[in-house]
Amino acid sequence: MLSEDIQSLLLVIGEVCRQRRISDGVTQAVQAEAAEISLKAAQAIESGQSGQTAVLMKYLKSLGLLEGLIEAFPDPFAVSPLEELAMKEKAKRARPKRVSRSGKTESDKGRPAWGDER
């Protein structure tokens, strides 16, 4: 048995699909064929019945509704603001170049300086 919130969501999704299909002037049979699913599956989706997720996704895609659903989810591969801040802090704390007593860094050794022309 599905929980009430999942069943409610399935009913909403089914009604949105039905309204989109009707506004597009398409029958369930034609929409099911466009989605490459059975007519029975399309009828089940529009009535809010649970079924295979992949079938639901195909139907949503055929109605142009899948993109909106995808946009509703956060990008799991994006760097969170906290992670970005931590990376910036880590870069700030990076070890500075070593400077010798003469004031030259390791990479400066061997380079001519003003007044070294002799």
6-10-70 Cα angle (round to 5): 95
Q: Residue 14 has which token pair?
A: 């089914």
Q: Token pair of 106, please?
A: 């390791």
Domain enclosing residue 66, as ranges: 4-71
Query: Domain tally for the chain?
Result: 1
Give the domain CATH number at 12. Answer: 1.10.260.40
pLDDT interval class at 95 (50, 70, 90) = low
In this prediction, residues 97-107 reach a mean pLDDT of 63
Q: What is the pLDDT of residue 117?
A: 60
DSSP conformational letter for 94: S
Determine the pLDDT at residue 79: 78
Classify residue 106: in a domain, yes or no: no
Q: What is the pLDDT of residue 83?
A: 84
The answer to whether the predicted template modeling score (pTM) of the entire model surpasses 0.85 is no
Please report whether residue 57 resides in a domain.
Answer: yes
**pLDDT cut 90: percent of the chain above it:** 36
Task: For 79-92, write each residue's pLDDT tens digit.
Answer: 778 888 888 888 88
Phi, psi angles (nearest 5°) of residue 25: 70, 35
In a domain, 29, yes or no: yes
In a domain, 76, yes or no: no
